[in-house]
Amino acid sequence: MKKLINRPEDVVKEALAGMEALHAELIRVDYESQVIVRADAPVQGKVGIISGGGSGHEPMHGGFVGCGMLDAACPGEIFTSPVPDQMLAATRAVNGGAGVFYIIKNYTGDVLNFEMAAELAAAEDIEIASVVTNDDVAVQDSLYTAGRRGVGVTVLLEKIVGGLAETGASLEAVAEMAQRVNANGRSMGMALTSCTVPAIGRPTFDLDENEMEIGIGIHGEPGCRRVPLASAAEVTEMLVNPILEDLELKAGERVIAFVNGMGGTPQIELYVMANELAKILRGKNITIARSLVGSYITSLEMAGCSITLLRTDDEILKYWDAPVHTPALRWGI
């Protein structure tokens, strides 16, 4: 195992310390509860937006804490759900009196722990609403989920809902927008290599040199099939066609296209994939209204990518375009 770490058991807390040291104008870290909070939280009269999950997917979620996106993030240990006490501490830290909204990826531990945190917060008279993202078309159930996994749409949703919340929108309006985004987005990913959890010290799974896994999960969960290596054009087809079919996208519609790296894939290869995606969508008269290309929801050092398409309209684009200033995503500031 070759990693830039000190001790495996210290990776998460030392990474949090690094984030705070370099982004103190944007975030603060509560080390006792292991929560990343927006520097100016709580913002009075604003719905607080919280997400969280296991570490190892950086920059999601801590890199998205800041103006125009998340008010707090709850990082668990690597590939391990955060606990309800973390989520409750984050809820208290961002509660500005307008309620708090949870963005939960559909992994069993995340869902159960956020539900428990919501009950604890309600006992303190904090109003909670939530969405469970479940955009992965690759598999119906997996090692960590009942139903579809929450993957790339989570990043897009955090940006759009975060932009809406900055306008002073109500908790009900934020919840409605989140449900709308989740319902109109789909994703699928693939892997060329496995990844290695520092505390384990060996690859999560094995792939032969001439193999790739289609439909992989962000924790290295098995996909829908293992196939021989193929060209970028062929891989893009394998990922995009199930998304188009599931979303029932039609000619004339617009999308936000997200080509995401899994952690070990260079940007140049992501743009090769983006080019293939653009060709497919042009051929179907589907317009890419906005795009995001880069490694934003990763699986440690896994080589591979995912593609997310979100059916969009003028209102969604308004909040996508709204200013954002976080450690990992910023524009319009």
Determine what percent of the chain is predicted with pLDDT higher than 90.
Answer: 92
Q: What is the pLDDT of residues 87-146, one digit of tens each?
A: 999 999 999 999 999 999 999 999 999 999 999 999 999 999 999 999 999 977 666 667
Match 């952690």 to its residue by tokens: 263
- Cβ atoms of 121 and 78 within 8 Å: the answer is no
Beta strands in 40-86 (DSSP E): 48-55, 72-78
68 pLDDT above the threshold of 80:
yes
**77 has pLDDT over 80:** yes
Q: Which residue has the tokens 């709580």?
A: 42
**Residue 219: active-site member:** yes
Q: What is the pLDDT of residue 250?
A: 96
Nearby residues of 219 by Cβ (< 8 Å), 6 or more positions away: 54, 56, 79, 143, 144, 204, 299
pLDDT digits (tens, 9 = 90+) for 296-314: 999 999 999 999 999 999 9
| pLDDT (average), residues 207-215 | 94
Domain spans in the chain, listed from the N-terminal domain onward: 15-184+326-331, 185-320
- Asked if the domains 15-184+326-331 and 185-320 are classified in one and the same CATH topology, the answer is no
Is 325 marked active-site?
no
Looking at 23, 57, 61, 325, which residue is catalytic?
A: 57
**Closest Cα partner for 229 from 120, 282, 134, 304?**
304
What is the reported pLDDT for 145?
62
* Chain centre distance of CA 327: 15
**Tens digits of per-residue pLDDT, 163-181?**
999 999 999 999 999 999 9
**What mean pLDDT comes out for the span 39-54?**
98
Amino acid at residue number 292: L
185-320 CATH choice from 1.10.3720.10, 3.10.20.30, 3.30.420.40, 3.30.1180.20: 3.30.1180.20
Topology given in CATH for the domain delimited by 15-184+326-331: Rossmann fold (3.40.50)
The per-residue pLDDT of the chain, averaged, comes to 96
